[in-house]
Amino acid sequence: MKLWKAALAGALIMNLVGCGGDSAPSAFVNTDGTLTQGVIYGEDSIQEVSTADRNTRANVALVHLDKWNEIIKGEAIWTVDEVYGTGQQLPWSGQESKAFCSGTLVAPKMVLTAGHCFTEDHSCENTVFVFNDEQKMDGATTRKGWHCKQIVAQKNDFQSGLDYALVEVSMPKDEVEPAIMSTAVSLVGDSVYSIGYPLGSLKKTAQGKVRRVNEMGSLETNLDVFVGNSGSPVFDSKTHELIGVLHGGEDDFQPDSEDGSVQIMKCAEDDCKGEFVIPIQKILADIEKQK
């Protein structure tokens, strides 16, 4: 697939969740067609998760129902490179691109993700929550998909710094142990990590730090994340407790080169917009109502 300058936005809209013509959540595409949320800050910290890593079991990929049906049938799925044109820039470019958002279990049957992940095309009815979508390693469990029952709370107000959704899923109550939520306020300089599905790939973790707290109360971090990471849980590296949910940030890609190739945005650790995290304290009241 060539000439990404002309085709990239269209490829995202048509193929982020498969070839069925489903559009991506609107917050993933700027009005000028450029992609949002993601960049590599300093050294690339993105790694495949290990079954020994903390909090990986509570993590979940949001997959469109049509895409999930293709997966169940064993049909071919477009790769990260085929959707985004990343080539050799990412060691995981050859992985299938399936997820359109990420999330985490915060209470029995209750998943926390970004509010903008749900749109007319990505409704509760056509979203499947897939646990254990990770690189197969020793001890890895079978991948399971659960259907959305209802959205019990949703905020999609960027002006107020609130962008999250709480979703009840059809899974058994004790199927997965929820993440432990932090009661401490995150501070500038805190070391954090995310777990999610960059560019729809298999489950990845990325390391970073809190750079500042903006006027809306959101945490600005330098996590290495991309489209598909929206809704990713962010944890404190010392306590492994959930401190917030990722909802947006810097552009994924630089302006295309003259030959039409796509270049991943790279910034110094303290440069560019940063990646924004909604503190869990802003969401706790809605979570407590569902327990």
Tens-digit pLDDT profile for residues 92-124: 999 999 999 999 999 999 999 999 999 888 899
- Structural domain that includes position 270: 190-280
Cβ–Cβ under 8 Å, residues 196 and 246: yes
What gap in Å lies between CA 285 and CA 291, rounded to an integer?
11
40-44, 53-57, 241-245: lowest mean pLDDT where?
A: 40-44
What gap in Å lies between CA 212 and CA 9, rounded to an integer?
31
pLDDT of 271 higher than 70: yes
What gap in Å lies between CA 135 and CA 151, rounded to an integer?
29
Per-residue confidence at 261, pLDDT binned at 50, 70, 90?
Answer: low
What lies within 8 Å, CB to CB, of 259 at 6+ separation is none
Q: What confidence tens digit (pLDDT) does each residue in 192-232 have?
A: 999 999 999 999 999 999 999 988 889 999 999 999 999 99
How far out from the chain centre does Cα 29 lie?
15
Rg (CA), the chain: 17
Domain boundary among 169, 204, 220: 169
Higher pLDDT, residue 38 or 206: 206
Q: What integer pLDDT is reported at residue 260 of this predicted model?
A: 60
Q: In this structure, are 155 and 214 located in the same domain?
A: no
Please report whether residue 86 resides in a domain: yes
What gap in Å lies between CA 33 and CA 97, rounded to an integer?
20
User: How far is CA 24 from each of CA 28, 73, 222, 227, rounded to the nearest angstrom?
Assistant: 7, 23, 24, 10
Q: In this structure, are 68 and 97 located in the same domain?
A: yes
pTM of the model: 0.83
Higher pLDDT, residue 287 or 24: 287
Please report whether residue 184 resides in a domain: no
Q: What is the mean pLDDT of the chain?
A: 81
Q: What integer pLDDT is reported at residue 30 of this predicted model?
A: 41
pLDDT of 27 higher than 50: no
21-25, 151-155, 178-182: lowest mean pLDDT where?
A: 21-25
Please report whether residue 229 resides in a domain: yes
User: How far is CA 220 from each of CA 203, 229, 284, rounded to the nearest angstrom?
Assistant: 22, 15, 20
Domain boundary among 135, 169, 203: 169
- Residue 145: helix, strand or coil by DSSP? strand
Selection from 62, 112, 54 nearest residue 291 by Cα? 112
Q: What integer pLDDT is reported at residue 152 of this predicted model?
A: 95
State what percent of residues in the chain have pLDDT above 90: 48
50-59, 171-180, 191-200, 276-285: lowest mean pLDDT where?
A: 50-59
Please report whether residue 208 resides in a domain: yes
For CA atoms 233, 237, 240, 244, give the dihedral sign: negative
Q: What integer pLDDT is reported at residue 212 of this predicted model?
A: 94
Please report whether residue 22 resides in a domain: no
Domain count of the fold of the chain: 2
Q: In this structure, are 164 and 194 located in the same domain?
A: no
138-152, 164-178, 219-233: lowest mean pLDDT where?
A: 138-152
